[in-house]
Amino acid sequence: MDAIFPELSTYNRGMGGYSLKGVLNVGWVDIHAVYPQGTVPSPFLSKLSEIMQLPTGAPFDPFMETIRELPHCEACGDIRYLRGDEFVRSNSELWIPTAELIYASPLIMVHHITDHGYCPPAEYIEAVLALELDQRFDSYVVYKEKLFESGWYDLVPT
Ligand SMILES: [Zn+2]
């Protein structure tokens, strides 16, 4: 099972005591446990669906650290999302930027919202609704910058 992080806590997944400033966890829930549930606005669902269909090479790339596996739901198994170019979307994190910060989620969160009634924090819904999908955003580049800032590389012997 994926690690579970409290909503809106600072991102420190796999970072051994370090954390990424300005990056907040959203949607790292255990669907077999108690998690926030509720109805989300339909424009939010449409926007998420639009994001999930972005083709590779789109200027807006929130799919952080893509890996060669499918997003996996603990209840339903592997989930197949078709991208706009009709390829199946690989698993990754989903990094949603605002002017001030970034929300980091497991990609399976989208399925947890649509199929298991998970309701993310209100500020997250607002952030997604406010997103302009034609902006240039490379989540992996931002991640590497944040990782460098965090001091994590100090662990690495030179
Ligand atoms: Zn499921």
pLDDT in tens, 30-79: 999 999 999 999 999 999 999 999 998 899 999 999 999 999 999 999 99
pLDDT (0 to 100) of residue 118: 97
- Residue 148 alpha carbon to ligand 1 centre in Å: 35
Residue 152 above 80 pLDDT? yes
pLDDT tier, 3 (very low <50, low <70, confident <90, very high otherwise): low
- Alpha-carbon distances, residue 16 vs 20, 102, 148 (angstroms): 12, 20, 14
Q: Is 107 part of a structural domain of the chain?
A: yes
Number of structural domains in the chain = 1
Q: Is 30 part of a structural domain of the chain?
A: yes
Q: Is 131 part of a structural domain of the chain?
A: yes
Domain residues for 90?
Answer: 23-151
pLDDT (0 to 100) of residue 153: 83
* Residue 93 tokens, joined: 């994190």
Q: Is 101 part of a structural domain of the chain?
A: yes
Query: Quick check: 58 and 139 in contact, CB under 8 A?
Result: no
- Residue 78 alpha carbon to ligand 1 centre in Å: 9
Residue 158 above 70 pLDDT? no
- Residue 82 alpha carbon to ligand 1 centre in Å: 17
Q: Is 1 part of a structural domain of the chain?
A: no
Q: Is 157 part of a structural domain of the chain?
A: no
Q: Is 17 part of a structural domain of the chain?
A: no
Instruction: Report pLDDT digits (tens) over 74-124.
Output: 999 999 999 888 889 999 999 999 999 999 999 999 999 999 999 999 999
- Residue 32 alpha carbon to ligand 1 centre in Å: 10
Residue 17 above 80 pLDDT? yes
Q: Is 76 part of a structural domain of the chain?
A: yes
- Residue 72 alpha carbon to ligand 1 centre in Å: 8
- Residue 75 alpha carbon to ligand 1 centre in Å: 5
- Residue 44 alpha carbon to ligand 1 centre in Å: 19
- Residue 73 alpha carbon to ligand 1 centre in Å: 5
Query: How large is the average pLDDT for residues 150-155?
Result: 85
pLDDT (0 to 100) of residue 1: 47
Residues 6+ apart with CB under 8 A from 99: none
Query: How large is the average pLDDT for residues 132-142?
Result: 96
- Residue 113 alpha carbon to ligand 1 centre in Å: 9
- Residue 112 alpha carbon to ligand 1 centre in Å: 6
Q: How far apart are CA 59 and CA 67, in angstroms?
A: 20
Q: How far apart are CA 105 and CA 33, in angstroms?
A: 18
